[in-house]
Structure 1
Amino acid sequence: MLPDIATIEENFAFIDDWEERYRYVIELGRMLPPADAALHAEANRVHGCASQVWLEMAVEEAGGTPVLRLRGDSDAHIVRGLVALMVALFDGRTPREAAETDAFALYTRLGLAEHLTPQRSNGVRAMADRIHRDATALAA
């Protein structure tokens, strides 16, 4: 099961070696539930990523409050881990909270922004923009 975002950030703080951090990101990707064929629909594909990435956002009532349920997948191990970070950051938030969250700031805090290739950084930004756009529409 994927840890919450606070736990992930705490774990990153204890890992000094970048190779180990990359392995941890890949491990997070392995914790995502297996994707079904419906997730891989063209409507869920995130454009702007070098690897194939799919994100699906739904709203579910939790205690009378609408919260987001985010699922994702990628065909690349490290990118699947980056998708897992997005899921950990946004799953269970209200649409308004998600719309007000700067997802790319997480990657900066974790130090990933400076260690990802420009293509991967563009892909992270594309995922963040997609989630922000969808959450903003749901919050309206």
Structure 2
Amino acid sequence: MNTAAAPTSPFPIESTPAEAQAAIREEFAFFGDWAERYQYLIDLGRKLPDLPPEWKTEQHRLHGCQSMVWIVATGDSQRLDFHAISDSAIVSGLVYLALRVYSGRSAREIAETDADYIAEIGLAKHLSPTRSNGLAALLGFIRERAKAEA
């Protein structure tokens, strides 16, 4: 059990995962090129609350990502909250997007929601292989935790 108090989560922002994905699509459509979208990802990542130092341990490290990413899940089948951060600015932005869609939702909602926004905003084509692997590991962690709680 984690002894540190969970940081205040800004999620969920939207009422449903589908609304979150629609908002993400709309926001990314606003930008004309990928330089602007990467800057937006960096700005989003800066909005993530930091984790308590005792959560930034090997136990909470997400493996499969080249960057350092720490993730902690709290809650139960009715509401799972994910707290995560990375040492990489762009990866923190990717974490923000995933948490925006999945954090603060029921295990059932999480399990039933595909991450359609990734392809729809062009992320799948514009991420390096290592970032794509890390994003897959992040989404896998979230789904596995939801399945364990369902």
Equivalent pairs counted in the alignment come to: 134
Unaligned runs of 5+ in 2: 1-9, 15-19
Higher RCO, Cα 8 Å, sep 6+:
2
- Tell me what 1:10 maps to: 26
TM-score (norm 1): 0.87
- Tell me what 2:53 maps to: 37
When structure 1 is superposed on structure 2, of 34-43 and 9-18 the one drifting more is: 34-43
- For 1:77 and 1:120, how far apart are their aligned partners in 2? 12
Cα offsets for 1:94-136 (capped at 9, x unmatched): 0111122223x32111211100011110110011111111111
Matched, 1:131 2:142: yes
TM-score (norm 2): 0.82
- For 2:135 and 2:63, how far apart are their aligned partners in 1? 11
* Correspondent of 2:69 among 49, 53, 57: 53
- Tell me what 2:78 maps to: 66
Identity among equivalent positions (%) equals: 44
Contact 2:24 2:117 in 1 (8 A): no
Contact 2:61 2:71 in 1 (8 A): yes
* Correspondent of 1:115 among 126, 134, 137: 126
- Runs of 4 or more, structure 1, over 2 Å off, are 1-9
Unaligned runs of 5+ in 1: none
RMSD over aligned Cα atoms: 1.7
SS of residue matched to 2:70: strand
Q: 1:10 to 1:39 in 2, by over 3 A?
A: farther
- For 1:126 and 1:102, how far apart are their aligned partners in 2? 14
- Tell me what 1:101 maps to: 113
Cα offsets for 1:65-120 (capped at 9, x unmatched): 821111110011000111111110111210111122223x3211121110001111
- Tell me what 2:7 maps to: none
When structure 1 is superposed on structure 2, of 94-103 and 116-125 the one drifting more is: 94-103
Q: 1:106 to 1:39 in 2, by over 3 A?
A: farther
